[in-house]
Amino acid sequence: MESSLIAQIDKDRLPKHIAIIMDGNGRWAEEKGQERLYGHFHGVESVRNIVEGCAELGIGYLTLYAFSTENWDRPVQEVEGLMALLVDTIRKEVPTLNKNNIRLHVIGDMQMLPEFARKELNEALEMTAANTGLNLVMALSYSSRWELMNAVKQIGLDVKAGKVDPETINQDTLQQYLSTSQFPDPELMIRTSGEYRISNFLLYQLAYAELYFTNTRWPDFRKDHLYEAILDFQMRERRFGKTGHQIQNETTLAS
């Protein structure tokens, strides 16, 4: 099935940036009569598979919503288990990331992470910094409201310090203060497990993204599901506020 799906994908119309809310790990485990951490453990295999799939296709950026600021309110045992799994996974995956020329990035409030987790993350960031292929962005201890609040606060401080003229502030100004300032906005956002919301994830950056929802739990999500999402994306007309006729005319002129 994978080969037939990938053959249908137009490699000239790939989304430059895909963002994924990896939902359903805990429910997947509970449905199998297991503890929630069992689902997170198996979700790691899905991460490997989808990262590989994006790298093979030539996707430039992949952002994975791994842990939100709201997730800190989950049971202590689950949070501690997630942190241990995170560190263990990063430690094991760095050689594979380097082998496949994948650069790791992290967005979120890293100060909330345990010291051992920050240490492993910073080492992984340094060890993959020279890679020039897929940019893998992990959203850890991240929430969009936190990000926007920090951006506004920093703009205010820079205005007060005379570094920014408030009369010149525009959309580009705000974008420069976001934690994603070095990445293009996602063109495709995928959420697994049948939830139809974006849950405080990249609220500003997803303004013109195509949203794709699937009932598949994250531990079951594989390359063929990714290809289906990309094919769905390629069937949509991205107008950015313009009419369909305008887009068609611009496409004709460009060709």
Tokens of 192: 């697994």
Short-list 216, 61, 70, 191, CA closest to 138: 61
Tally the residues of the chain.
Answer: 255
Question: For residues 24 and 216, what is the distance between their CA atoms, to the nearest angstrom?
Answer: 8
Q: Answer yes or no: 158 catalytic.
A: no
Question: For residues 103 and 130, what is the distance between their CA atoms, to the nearest angstrom?
Answer: 7
| Candidates 23, 25, 135, 185; catalytic one | 23
Q: Answer yes or no: 23 catalytic.
A: yes
| Candidates 12, 25, 49, 71; catalytic one | 71
* Catalytic machinery residues: 23, 71
